[in-house]
């Protein structure tokens, strides 16, 4: 099956072609800008080494996407989601975590009104 044609980077004035919205160079700029100006906390502090250890332990214990499993599908989990966001008083406790695949995590995050629904 043929691949989609590459399209111009959405960053103003950038001539690079990409498969995503932004080329690799400008994707980093956009993410840095989001983390600095739009995110209400410093993600490098909130999601540091301790979070990586907790995340890796949780995903090892729960290797399948809990949302897909609920719907009768078996999908490998790649991300760990906070049911109650840390910004709303949630914790890294196992009862507040959920292993998800990338599509389920993106959908749940968008539905909750986080990053993607602001645009």
Read off the tokens for 62.
Answer: 């729960």
pLDDT band, very low/low/confident/very high, at 117 (cuts 50, 70, 90)? very low
pLDDT band, very low/low/confident/very high, at 92 (cuts 50, 70, 90)? confident
Nearest partner of 115 among 31, 53, 50, judged by Cα: 31
Domain assignment present for residue 43? The answer is no
Domain assignment present for residue 93? The answer is yes
Q: Are 12 and 22 in contact (CB under 8 A)?
A: no
Tell me: do 75 and 99 sit in the same domain. Answer: yes
Tell me: do 55 and 88 sit in the same domain. Answer: yes
First to last CA, the chain: 32
**Residues, the chain, total?**
119
Nearest partner of 43 among 11, 77, 82, judged by Cα: 82
User: pTM (2 decimals)?
Assistant: 0.58
- pLDDT given for residue 31 in this prediction: 83
| Sequence-separated (6 or more) residues with CB below 8 Å from residue 41 | 86, 87
Average pLDDT (76-93) is 88
pLDDT at 118 over 50: no
What are the tens digits of pLDDT across the range 15-32? 999 998 999 999 999 888
């Amino acid at each position: 099956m043929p691949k989609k044609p590459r399209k111009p980077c959405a960053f103003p004035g950038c001539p690079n072609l990409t498969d995503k919205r932004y080329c690799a160079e400008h994707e980093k700029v956009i993410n840095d800008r989001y983390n600095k100006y739009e995110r209400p906390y410093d993600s490098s502090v909130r999601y540091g080494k301790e979070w990586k250890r907790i995340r890796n332990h949780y995903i090892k214990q729960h290797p399948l996407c809990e949302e897909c499993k609920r719907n009768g599908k078996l999908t490998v989990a790649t991300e760990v989601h906070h049911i109650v966001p840390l910004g709303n008083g949630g914790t890294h406790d196992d009862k507040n975590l959920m292993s998800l695949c990338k599509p389920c995590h993106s959908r749940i995050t968008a539905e909750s009104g986080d990053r993607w629904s602001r645009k």
